[in-house]
Amino acid sequence: MALPNLIVADGMGNFIEVPELSMAGMNFIRPVAPVESLLLPLPPVTQLVVLPGRVAMGYDPELNKFVQVREYQGRPVYPVSAVLPHNYLQILRPAYSTLLDAPRLAPNTYSAVGIADGRFVASGGFSVNDTTAERNFLLINHLTDARERSIDRAVSHLNNAANGAVRFVTENRSHAGQITEIVAAIREQTSEGIIQIDSNAGNADIARQWCAAGADRLRVRINSAQESFYNRYFAELGYTFPDLIQTLEGIAAAHKETEIAYLVFPGLTDHPDELSAITELVGTINPNRVVLENMAIDPDWYMDELRLFHLPRTQLGIPEWVQNIRQKLKKVFIGDV
């Protein structure tokens, strides 16, 4: 069966099918043909976005090679990407080449997309679990909500909601003290439910304060289990890999639940060195669970920032990586396509 056709955009909001070319994707830096069994009709709420400053690429079956598409039918055209819902694991990014003056893309998960029989299809699959769905979560926005109102809402929710839980999300150390105070105030009024804090875990002392105040679970985001790649990504926040390890060990010592949110990026995540590193980290830290999340980022910026272009071209591909993860890390849930 033929692969879906390439889809491009003309820059005026129109998506154009290119029947002469098949869709292509990228796992790392080279275009590849997607696996038909790993193409899915676009799920609800999927967005199609245009990628400016980039040149679309598709597969030409007559020439038996991947080609660039700068114009089509006399009009300049641009690559198109699907932004899938968060519970679909990214497999291939759209295939394109980047111009020197290309703008930085918004932080999204960019997946290859094509069109078959009049329907858009995307490269993606493997449902991934979001443990927030296990409970009835209330998100506390500590930046905008008044302190007393936040406490009252949280206490009411924990006391009255079935499987009630309160969730804080923070990447800023300056908010740590405020969160500690709110958590302690909540726990003074109720011991019901779960209090979860999502953080980059850059400070072990802050994590210990949250645990002592009454937090039950900390979800820690990591982009890599390799120190060099972790440090390059979190450098601007002042976090280092040793900080991460100390934080995770401190949470475990406080007998609180630890959850690692592992950010998946094809080309890095599925590299054998990274697979070994995440296996070792999970074996050492022994978190309660590992949750997979797609890395929402401009791929070019990310690869430049982490200097991923120097990686050996030995990536497994996300489908094979999934099979390895299923065998090695039983605490990771990955569903079927």
Digits of tens for pLDDT over the chain (337 positions)? Answer: 589 999 999 988 899 999 999 999 999 989 999 999 899 999 989 999 999 999 999 999 999 999 999 999 999 999 999 999 988 999 999 999 999 999 999 999 999 999 999 999 999 877 775 555 566 888 886 555 577 888 999 999 999 998 899 999 887 677 788 899 999 999 999 999 999 999 887 788 999 999 999 999 999 999 999 999 999 999 888 889 999 999 999 999 999 999 999 999 999 999 999 999 999 999 999 998 888 899 999 999 999 999 999 999 999 999 999 889 888 887 776 655 4
Under 8 Å between Cβ of 132 and 167: yes
> What is the model's pTM?
0.91
Strand, coil or helix: what is 171?
A: coil
Q: Per the structure block, which two tokens stand in for 8?
A: 């491009």
Specify the DSSP element, H or E, that contains 301: helix 299-306
Running DSSP on this structure, what letter comes out for residue 86?
Answer: T
> CB neighbours of 191 closer than 8 A, spacing ≥ 6?
none
Q: Report the alpha-carbon distance of residue 18 to residue 115 in Å, rounded.
A: 9
Q: How many residues does the chain have?
A: 337
Centroid of chain to Cα 53? 23
- Dihedral of the alpha carbons of 111, 128, 298, 301, in degrees to the nearest 10: -120
Q: Per the structure block, which two tokens stand in for 258?
A: 């630890």
Architecture field, domain 131-328: Alpha-Beta Barrel (3.20)
Give exposure, 35-71, as e/b (b: 16+ Cβ within 10 Å). Answer: beebbbebeeebeebbbebbbbbbbeeeeeebeebee
Bridge partners for 58 per DSSP: 67
Rounded to a whole number of angstroms, the CA Rg of the chain reads: 22
Under 8 Å between Cβ of 280 and 225: yes
Strand, coil or helix: what is 175?
A: helix
> CB neighbours of 284 closer than 8 A, spacing ≥ 6?
none
Segments making up each domain of the chain, as ranges: 5-126, 131-328
